[in-house]
Structure 1
Amino acid sequence: MTSALEQPDVLAVARDQVLENGAGLSEQQVLEVLNLPDERLPELLALAHEVRMRWCGPEVEVEGIVSVKTGGCPEDCHFCSQSGRFPTPVRSAWLDIPGLVKAARQTAGTGATEFCIVAAVRGPDQRLLKQVREGIEAIRADGNEIQIACSLGMLTQDQVDELVGMGVHRYNHNLETARSHFPNVVTTHSWDERRETLQMVRAAGMEVCCGGIVGMGENLAQRAEFAVQLAELDPHEVPVNFLIPQPGTPYEGYDVVEGKDALRVVAAFRLAMPRTMLRFAGGRELTLGDLGAEQGMLGGINAIIVGNYLTNLGRPAGQDLAMLAELKMPVKALSDTL
């Protein structure tokens, strides 16, 4: 029987399997990566960056997001300050059409190619879909050709078809965490219900955007499980969020993910999904700070959200764009996405 000391080194295996052949790591291999000691972190990040450059190239996709309907959500996602079930400071509000057009114009002004319209709902009703339709029409009437994505909760087939008809090219619906951990995070709907929406989205021809949040009480094995479950879905984009403990939510007392652990997750996700757009999203500022953000960009990330998040402040867009310029990472042009 082979001892643990005689097992092939996971990074050596990854260099051949992922870097050379483009095949993502297995769940057990991802777990080995997540268990690497701190002294091997620079080596891990360097390999993840090589994989990103080999299979995705140097360009970075920049995106802005805006909430068209904030707060008052009936679901009990334990991380979310927009749930109406928890005593958080967030109150229900709607963004009007001129506000949506202004946000899209500001996003395009940063050089972003993607603008995501988000709503805190279980799924969209006719009022919300009408608001989104009129918003997209107004954005186009403003002369703005930015790509438009949506994140409106769980969908029916008719709603999927309606969004396609509006010209929405990408749909975000995060699985949030590993299937085995999901019941500890959300009880008002299931992991499988979320996955069903994503399957309909893909079948309709929209790009699939699906990621989650790290730091919600999951163990390392569940992080590995989640990475592989995402890889099996083969999403176009995976947003990587780190928990921001929100006042009033069940997770308000949770610790922030350690920076080194966050970077290990980023690299492990890249090695599990060598060809996927991996996007820095919420919580990176709190978890990593400025230096950590640069390390993440050099450790497998190839897309970022600039500006503010839904109920949390982000870094000013100019800081992120300056970081990309300093790292000599070109921002993906809108003409390349059309």
Structure 2
Amino acid sequence: MTRTVSTDQTTALTGIGAAPILDQARDRVLHRGLGLTQEQILQILELPDALLPAALELAHDVRLKYCGESVEVEGIISVKTGGCPEDCHFCSQSGLFESPVRAVWLDIPGLVQAAQETAATGATEFCIVAAVRGPDLKLMNQIKFAIERINRVVEINIACSLGMLTQRQVDQLAEWGVHRYNHNLETARSFFPEVVTTHDYDERLDTCRMVKDAGMELCCGALIGMGESNAQRAELAAQLAALDPHEVPLNFLNPRPGTPLAGQSIMSGRDALRAIAAFRLAMPRTVLRFGGGRELTLGDLGTREGLLGGINAVIVGNYLTTLGRPATADLDLLVELNMPIRELQKSL
């Protein structure tokens, strides 16, 4: 499962003279296990196209050395879709926008069935998501009962993504055996006010820190392609590295009808691949997961390149309000690339 750079590519690389950052990254990240600095991350994001294969190869080598060959597979399900009171400009679940998504609740039998279907794909993680600012008592009770029911019928790790939490809610989720909690930073602090105004960056960070302190794994991701600069992408990668989450889902904007970002252009596949390499080199030991938007931004070929360029986890099936690749397509690709699915490590 190694990448190779062709003779033509090698000739191109030696003729460009822009490779010092790759030499620095090889020494700092691959050999010493240290993530790149924010300035160095920016240099990776600004590499010319001819150097992209070498950057992806290096990122893949880092992934193999510090994360191993296996790939973690996860499925997600929304227990409450739509009607969110927040104004995240990228999200069709906001109740403040003229989006076709409407509020829908999924009952506990539906959650149990979804968990069973997810486990049947070979996934080891099942994430329950709710479009809320933070969970109320009704939602917390539903999560508690759902966890109990799921654990009776299927062996799978349970994760949650329920918005911003209080300390009591963090403690309850940890007590109920939630394996991992997702709460994304989404974008850099400097760009955040451009896409969210109903809460601030520190509110997100507070939840992330409480989750880590409670002993749950923290899943904290990025959404790129919203109009931020390369410098802001580098800022985000550095901020995530400082937070040191167990997992970082890397999402690419899929502009949704009715949202303020509906007219945003799709980022290029090459820029997406540069981001994958840069985020891996910023966080050599982190689970870096393919999230939403890759089907649109990268397609089949780019998905393959990402798995050979630093990605070591995938969400299979559909997302919350958009269609993903069929689970069988991703699983077949993992077999083709000789990438074993990570075995379940039950935390309950």
TM-score between both structures, scaled by the size of structure 1: 0.97
Are 2:274 and 1:239 equivalent residues in the alignment? no
Deviation track 1:267-294 (CA, whole Å, cap 9, x = no partner) reads: 0000000000000000000000001000
Q: State the alpha-carbon separation in 1 of the partners of residues 69 and 19 from structure 2.
A: 30
Q: Tell me the amino acid that sits aligned with residue 109 of structure 1.
A: A
Query: Match of 1:310, SS?
Result: coil
Alignment partner, residue 67 of structure 1: 78
Alignment partner, residue 146 of structure 2: 135
Query: Match of 1:130, SS?
Result: helix
Alignment partner, residue 109 of structure 1: 120
Shift of 1:175: 0.4
Q: State the alpha-carbon separation in 2 of the partners of residues 146 and 187 from structure 1.
A: 36
Alignment partner, residue 286 of structure 1: 296
Q: State the alpha-carbon separation in 2 of the partners of residues 74 and 133 from structure 1.
A: 23
Shift of 1:138: 1.1
Shift of 1:257: 1.0
Alignment partner, residue 160 of structure 2: 150
Alignment partner, residue 322 of structure 2: 312
2:189 to 169, 179, 193: 179
Q: State the alpha-carbon separation in 2 of the partners of residues 330 and 219 from structure 1.
A: 35
Shift of the 336–118 alpha-carbon distance from structure 1 to 2, 3 Å rule, reads closer
Q: State the alpha-carbon separation in 2 of the partners of residues 193 and 316 from structure 1.
A: 35
Alignment partner, residue 38 of structure 2: 27
Deviation track 1:155-210 (CA, whole Å, cap 9, x = no partner) reads: 00000011111110110000000000000010000011000000000000000100
2:93 to 82, 87, 111: 82
Shift of the 89–309 alpha-carbon distance from structure 1 to 2, 3 Å rule, reads same
1:190 to 183, 200, 203: 200
Query: Match of 2:75, SS?
Result: strand
2:213 to 203, 208, 215: 203
Percent of aligned pairs sharing the same letter: 67
Map 1:296-335 to 2 at 5 A: 296-335=306-345
Instruction: Please report the RMSD computed on the Cα atoms of aligned residues, expressed in angstroms.
Output: 1.3
Contact 1:113 1:337 in 2 (8 A): no
Are 2:229 and 1:213 equivalent residues in the alignment? no
Deviation track 1:75-132 (CA, whole Å, cap 9, x = no partner) reads: 0000000000000000001001111001000000011000000000000000001111
Q: Tell me the amino acid that sits aligned with residue 85 of structure 1.
A: L
Q: State the alpha-carbon separation in 2 of the partners of residues 94 and 6 from structure 1.
A: 56
Shift of 1:266: 0.3
Q: Tell me the amino acid that sits aligned with residue 61 of structure 1.
A: E
Shift of the 101–163 alpha-carbon distance from structure 1 to 2, 3 Å rule, reads same
Shift of 1:336: 7.5
Contact 2:131 2:163 in 1 (8 A): yes
Contact 2:158 2:180 in 1 (8 A): yes
